């Protein structure tokens, strides 16, 4: 098991992995359709998307948390 102090890093890694995979597949299929070699084209796009997504998620996560805190109604006491 992974130490809890790495939970945010693990969260961003998995979020970047899944979201970059899904989005790169959707965008690749939208742009070029089901052609021969689509899997390799998609995997290259996924790798590139993940390399961008992982640090971006780590950078914007604190901002997103603050925005959510501002937008979510506080529980009444």
The DSSP line for 38-64 is HHHHHHHHHHHHHHHHHHHHHHHHHHH
pLDDT at 75 over 90: no
Residue 22 maps to a domain: yes
Q: What is the pLDDT of residue 11?
A: 93
Residue matched to tokens 């590139």: 48
Q: Within a domain: residue 48?
A: yes
Q: Look at the chain and report how many structural domains it folds into.
A: 1
Q: Whole domain around residue 42: which residue ranges? A: 4-71
More confident site: 77 or 57: 57
pLDDT higher than 90, residue 5: yes
| Nearest CA among 13, 11, 10 for reference residue 21 | 13
Instruction: Report the mean per-residue pLDDT for the chain.
Output: 96
Please report whether residue 77 resides in a domain: no
pLDDT score of 44: 98
Residue 31: both structure tokens together: 């742009």
């Amino acid at each position: 098991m992974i130490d809890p102090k790495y939970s945010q890093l693990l969260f961003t890694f998995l979020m970047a992995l899944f979201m970059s995979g899904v989005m790169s597949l959707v965008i690749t299929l939208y742009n070029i359709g089901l052609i021969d070699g689509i899997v390799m084209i998609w995997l290259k796009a996924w790798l590139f998307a993940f390399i961008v997504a992982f640090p971006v998620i780590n950078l914007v996560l604190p901002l997103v948390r603050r925005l959510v805190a501002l937008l979510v109604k506080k529980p009444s006491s």
